[in-house]
């Protein structure tokens, strides 16, 4: 499982010109389910996201988690993250989880995170336009 985490001031997902999900302050998660991921890796990822202290406190230090910052999450399934990019120039997505199972795991992940903070989502397997106003910029790449 791979996740790109971006702290965001305002972000949205559109499909065919229509906004289908939007958040103000919070996190945008680009989430890739890979072959071999399990319920345990999903739980670990959800806990990490909920507890990441990447929002500024009153002293300007990254010391608050998303709940403490009053933010919400925009989660977007992103199978293209499965390509490691080390060999060749044409991406291969052999490491990506089979779509039906990936969608099931993506939903499980979003539900776990949603127990602590509001989660909005893109639409699985759709061609989406994702607009992200990255705050900082602050971006992290996590693997589980």
**Which of 55, 79, 106, 109 is flagged as catalytic?**
79
**Which of 55, 78, 106, 109 is flagged as catalytic?**
78
Determine the Cα–Cα distance for residues 127 and 112; give it in Å rounded to an integer. Answer: 25
Question: Alpha carbon 14 to chain centroid distance?
Answer: 16
For 67, the enclosing helix (H) or strand (E) is helix 66-69
**Which of 35, 47, 68, 80 is flagged as catalytic?**
80
Residue 99 CB contacts under 8 Å (≥ 6 apart), including other chains: 79, 125
47 is catalytic: no
Residue 131 CB contacts under 8 Å (≥ 6 apart), including other chains: 11, 12, 13, 14
Q: Dihedral, CA atoms, 132, 141, 124, 129, nearest 10 degrees?
A: 20
79 is catalytic: yes
Q: Which residues are catalytic?
A: 78-80
């Amino acid at each position: 499982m791979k996740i790109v985490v971006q702290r965001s001031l305002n972000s949205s997902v559109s499909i065919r010109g229509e906004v289908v999900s939007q958040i103000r302050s919070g996190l945008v998660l680009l989430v890739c389910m890979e072959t071999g991921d399990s319920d345990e890796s999903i739980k670990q990822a959800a806990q990490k996201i909920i507890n990441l202290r990447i929002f500024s406190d009153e002293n300007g230090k990254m010391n608050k988690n998303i709940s403490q910052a009053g933010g919400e999450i925009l989660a977007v399934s992103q199978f293209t993250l499965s390509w490691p990019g080390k060999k060749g120039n044409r991406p291969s997505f052999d490491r990506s989880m089979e779509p039906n199972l990936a969608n099931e795991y993506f939903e499980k992940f979003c539900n776990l995170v949603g127990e602590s903070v509001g989660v909005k989502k893109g639409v699985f397997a759709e061609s989406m336009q994702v607009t992200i106003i990255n705050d900082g910029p602050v971006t992290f790449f996590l693997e589980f």
